[in-house]
Amino acid sequence: MPSGKLYITFYPATKTLVKAGSWPWAHDVIMETKEHWGLLLPVIATVAAGLVFTGKAKDSKKWWVLLIILSALLGVMGRIIKIGALK
């Protein structure tokens, strides 16, 4: 619920700011990708943790690696969006 409130309150201004910058594609491409990939993080973490708790720790390693890589990519994407808004 709090994230929905933040989305409704701040997203329109953020979108306008990013699209008004010199990199409007940062919103069109990066922001949309980041939003959708971000929805996968809880699912990936749940699968990885579920494998650990069921005694399949070795099988869970690829899921943990995916989670770490995807998290890092989302951070990089956030930085690109911020740069696009500031330029």
Q: Supply the pTM of this predicted model.
A: 0.77
47-59 per-position pLDDT tens digit = 999 999 999 999 9
Supply the DSSP symbol for 1.
-
CA neighbor of 34 nearest in space, from 18, 47, 21:
18
25-39 per-position pLDDT tens digit = 888 899 889 988 999
* Structural domain boundaries, residue 40: 2-86
Domain count, the chain: 1
